[in-house]
Copies of this chain bind each other. A is one copy, B any other.
């Protein structure tokens, strides 16, 4: 079993990340979405170890002190973080792990894990982004406005990612994203074992020739 690929997915709110992730998980069986730790209380119907790993503030801060997170942040008074050990365990099992996280978290993961694949999901245009936010029908004009404002700030970080995932047609986009992630398995940095095997075999043949 070869080690899985670690991918970080970020993108504008309204780009369709959630739908993309669901489609990816349902169409292929090699992926695992990382589960975050949080100090926020479980909501009705949420299950520990499924939606989040629920932690007390003390537990969370102990994990920070032990460098137990790939990234963590505070949001409205609660901690959220990606537990290193859990991600590592899934990768070791050969799962391709997807972290759906914000830009600052993504850049932190890149610092800790240089060969992580960073993907940024965007609709084909700003007009389409706004259309999608409006068509949800669940957001107030103020919320839409603030998401569009945030998109202006987020766009400044797009070129810190490795690839754009342009979510125009969902099926095409899921397929492209899958191919892109699978291609990383042949990155030379992911194939060190095969490279070492070839070097060794070639040397043995030379010596025995």
A residues lining the B interface (CB < 8 Å): 120, 122, 125-127, 129-130, 145, 148-149, 151-152, 155-156, 158-166, 176, 179-180, 183, 186-189, 191-192, 194-195, 197-199, 201-206, 209
Of all chain B residues, the one with the shortest Cβ separation from A207 is B152
Task: State whether A126 and B163 are in contact (beta carbons under 8 Å apart), knowing that A148-B209, A158-B188, A188-B158 are contacts in the complex.
Answer: no
Q: Are A126 and B201 in contact (CB under 8 A)?
A: yes
Q: Are A188 and B163 in contact (CB under 8 A)?
A: yes
Chain A, interface SS category:
helix
Task: State whether A205 and B130 are in contact (beta carbons under 8 Å apart), knowing that A164-B195, A183-B183 are contacts in the complex.
Answer: yes
Q: Are A152 and B120 in contact (CB under 8 A)?
A: no
Q: A199 CB to closest chain B CB, in angstroms?
A: 5
